[in-house]
Amino acid sequence: MAQYAGADKWYAVLFAVLIGIPLYSNTAGIVPLIGALTEKGLAMGTALAFMMAVTALSLPEFMILKRVMKIRLILIFAGIVGAGIVFTGYLFNWIL
């Protein structure tokens, strides 16, 4: 992932979010992976976006939410949270 989503790539944050969606983990479980990726050269904003996508936009979470929410509402939730994650990732990459 560090090779394809390096600090010099403009699409790194989007790529990290898309890679993080099918994964499922809690925040404490993803922190060691984030540490290893940042040591390999992944930008901090990209790593943060990946971590947030894994914990907030995971596919298993959507399957659980499907039991209590309609598809349209799940898509709205995913769109708003995804846009916030992408914005935060680019903001942190710009600042740091």
- pLDDT on residue 7: 72
- pLDDT on residue 58: 86
- Round to whole Å and give the CA distance between 87 and 71: 24
pTM of the model: 0.88
- pLDDT on residue 46: 92
Query: Please, are residues 88 and 48 in contact by the beta-carbon 8 Å criterion?
Result: yes
Q: Which residue from 21, 85, 89 is spatially nearest to 58, judged by alpha carbons?
A: 21
Q: Which residue from 86, 96, 91 is spatially nearest to 52, judged by alpha carbons?
A: 86
Q: Which residues of the chain have pLDDT under 70?
A: none
- pLDDT on residue 78: 94
